[in-house]
Chain A
Amino acid sequence: MMRSRRSAAVLFLTTLALASCRRDAPYRIGVAVDEDGIRGADLAAAQVNAAGGINGHMLELRSERRTSSTSAQIALASAERLASDPSILAVVGHTNSSASLAASQVYNSRHIVQIAPTSTAPLYTKAGPYSFRLVASDVHQGVFLANVVKALSPHPKMAIVFVNDDYGRALRKVFVEQLHLAGVTPMYEAPYAEGDDMTDLREIVASLTSSRPDLLVWIGRAREFSLIAAEIHRALPTLRVLASDGFSGITTSRDSARVLDGIRCVSLLDFERPDSALRNFRIEYEAKAGIGEVTDASVLSHDAVILLAEALRAVGPNRTAIRDWLAQVGRERPAFAGLSGRVAFNADGDREPQYYLRVIGARRPGGVRTVATTWAAWGRY
């Protein structure tokens, strides 16, 4: 009996070794996004490999976990590491516009395709032909936000707080220009820096309190707003808050204090779209993640990985060929049908604009609610 088990084990190990020997080298993609994005990318890679891989090659992700930071300097270091790895065929990243913009210089110089899932700064895709993104430029979001403002209040007493980086400065500029076109002048504008401490932020609260706007447009991420949300609510209980897509990562689980409830924010995709694939992804994602709901970053990172897998399946492990294939998506070749919807790139590598307005905490305990489901409704200039 013992002898027979040993033989079976030897046979199994031999078969395994032979199988591993026959297996082709995996295709490797770099991932430099936040945790939400990494989860979505992992699910996509698992989905691809479960389906047999890419032309016999397994899809392997190399994740830069430290890139959850929005720091451009950290992004540069991560990009340098990924670009130095000759097995990396493309990169999904980075976390925000500043990080993506900084890293894009490295990738373009090394001829590596970079698909930014959530970076919206207009300058990003100007960096070079290897820069793509699964969202539209903030040129469109500025218009969208301005239209939303006008819909909410024709003559708002509006304050703008924006993060003073590539993302916030660019979006704020387009937004303010659109407001001027609509005859609206913000009564207060204040920049902030990522990582500002409470002292700094409270001075913003103080200024807001003294200027008493009825509408606050927050162009930035939710972390800093969350820090002062309660104080703002106390000081200005009727203040309505409209946030840019920087709030898209906010989920119910991350706002346990429910300080963000009622805030309207720009969403890059419609989670309530009746799509079985999206629904199944959400179920699978939430089951595996166990800590929260899907976000824009997780879905868009998933789509980016699947899209790159399609490119690899079509052209093989050739960086330039991958770039050329992607550039044709939605133009010379059909658009890609992802969980985030139809993906088609324009000549700059930007996706067609699609924005949705969501109200945070509107359906608790169900998450966010999309109040405007189409770009067409709010996206007119």
Chain B
Amino acid sequence: MKQLMSGNEAIARGAYEAGAKVAAAYPGTPSTEILENIVEYKDSIYCEWAPNEKVATEVAIGASIAGVRSLAAMKHVGLNVAADPIFTYSYLGVNGGFILVTADDPSMHSSQNEQDNRYYAKFAKMAMVEPSDSQEAKDFVAEAYRISEEFDTPVLYRITTRICHSKGVVELGERTEVEPKKYERNQPKFAATPANARIAHARVEKRLKALEEYANKSPLNKAEYNDNTKIGIVTASVAYQYAKEVFGDTASYLKLGFTYPLPMELIKDFASKFETVYVVEELEPFMEEQMKAAGIKCIGKELIPNLYELNPDVVAKSLLNKESEVKTLDAKVVGRPPVLCPGCPHRGFFYTMSKKKNTVVTSDIGCYTLGGAAPLGATDTCICMGAGFSAGMGMAKAFEATGNDKKVFGVLGDSTFFHSGITGAIDIIYNKGRMVPVVLDNRITGMTGHQENPGTGKTLMGETAVEVDPVEMLKVIGYKTVKVVDPCDLKAMDETVEEAANSKEPYAIVTKRPCVLIKGLPPFKTKCRVVTEKCKKCKMCLKVGCPAVFFKDGASYIDQSMCVGCEVCMQVCKFDAIEKVGE
């Protein structure tokens, strides 16, 4: 049967067909839909949203040690969080096959950096597989498990946004059940004590040699020769598709699906047949550097940029100096940056903070990143998951040491609190940080499209679960006051922020109000409306940055199809020109 599938759907299908039994992940664009699709096979595969990528990886590692085929999936920066277990698991080797999917995001469509995670394969000395379209994304999973088990190695399954979110035609197969490997206590293999790890490292070096031999004859690496071609292109992942698009049959290709260790003999043999050898790869010169170190003459990043994602245009321009004809218009357009949704519970908090003069707001990764955008502009930093608390702590200490009386508010969401906010919250208590941690609890993992988390009371597989409560956790850690506040009640929000700023005791804030996009919430029965005659055109209501509130024909105006009646704009209006309608 043929089906149109995204790369993420295809990987889920591939894991199903290859007999995987355990899968874990933390959501992160562009990787999220892998587990969202694996749950379709929940009768065959146990799957979970873990609190973070490190936990997800460790869960999958444990399952592999126990003898079943397992998988962990994450976005590229998630692997930074999971780096600790994966480096050591590479030393130990597997029992059941183990795959770690890393979804890189060249061009940073939805990320804070565009790190090239292929280097993790080299760094951790593990095998790497890179599919170039949806069909391969499915098919290569089975071969990756085979490699993992034959060579006793974790496999880094590296994809990028354009593999994850591009759909292509996929021929489906059936599930092959895989007998679990027998589990027996085997400390020399699975306990990474110094004595065992010294032996393991030597084993890993031997494994790399064996893997390179395999790479030279792997079915995942293929040369495609076209007659009378003087150009040879070494390429992998989606860059292969771009090269094919541009060069068609005017070049020959060495298309690599198994990219670490590189099949250097195969590459040397291929390269020797051509006058010119190009390396077409996205981001860093990962293959090129190794090829050059092996003495292969080739051209890569001299011509192809290492910034941002490639496309056929970039490849054609870099290598052939060819550009498509483009007709431009003189018309001016205005930017369309992403914004907090109408009714977003975060708006009330950020509006409150936007009015405060002597504060610093250290923000984090999630919808609340948008609290920094105009017109709210209420945040100072955004680094990584958890840094909203801990970088805030460092700033507070630096201010304290330099006699600066600025007050720091560290901000992150419920899912991020469970991910890596808890440790920062403990640090603030333990090391007497003069700052206020704020959990913006909207009862869901928002930005990635509504995944369950330990606070929502539901698991990925749809079961009811314990609702871990950030308020109780903060109390247990030692915060004397944990103030719960509705962020859309601007008066209460402002009083809470003032009280927190002046508190001598450890004080934490949890704002509670569900994301308006959560399915199954009671319908929004009221809306806000501008009474045009009363509007004094002061534009105060525009300062809350709500997409439903405009200035139109000389007065404020609220789009009734977008408004959900959160009343934040209404509280900001000094002339009672915004009224509630409906009920």
Our verdict on whether A and B bind, yes or no, reads no
Residues of A within 8 A of B (CB): none
